[in-house]
Amino acid sequence: EAGVAQSPRYKIIEKRQSVAFWCNPISGHATLYWYQQILGQGPKLLIQFQNNGVVDDSQLPKDRFSAERLKGVDSTLKIQPAKLEDSAVYLCASSPGSLGGTFSEAFFGQGTRLTVV
């Protein structure tokens, strides 16, 4: 079974530039998550999708971050404009569960390491 695919693996941009990350979840997984992991900290949820609808985006800085999951499969996360404090690893994860069902496990991609200079 193919895992969660993310690209690019690494990205270096200057502050105020824009950047986009792509995620392809495990086939058939209804739930998709984007997490931000700052160096030395645990991952923090940015946004959660159930199929192509947003379940939770309460911690997404909406003035600069946006995400979409067209057709309930692939997802993109965009930052515009980037700030120095956005330097982090952006992790995509998916799980097969549905709302009201039993959460079993989230499967993570390798992440995209973003450096803002």
Partner 1 sequence: GDSVTQMEGPVTLSEEAFLTINCTYTATGYPSLFWYVQYPGEGLQLLLKATKADDKGSNKGFEATYRKETTSFHLEKGSVQVSDSAVYFCALTNYGGSQGNLIFGKGTKLSVKP
Binding site for partner 1 (CB under 8 A): 3-4, 31, 33, 35, 40-45, 48, 55-56, 91, 93, 95, 97-101, 103, 105-111
Q: Which residue lies nearer to partner 1 by CB, 36 or 82?
A: 36
Return phi, psi of residue 83, to 5°.
-120, 165
Residue whose CB is less far from partner 1, 28 or 100: 100
In a 3-state reduction of DSSP, which class is residue 86?
Answer: helix
CB of 81 to partner 1, least distance (A): 27
What DSSP string runs through 53-79? EEEE-TTS-TTTEEEE-GGGS-EEEEE
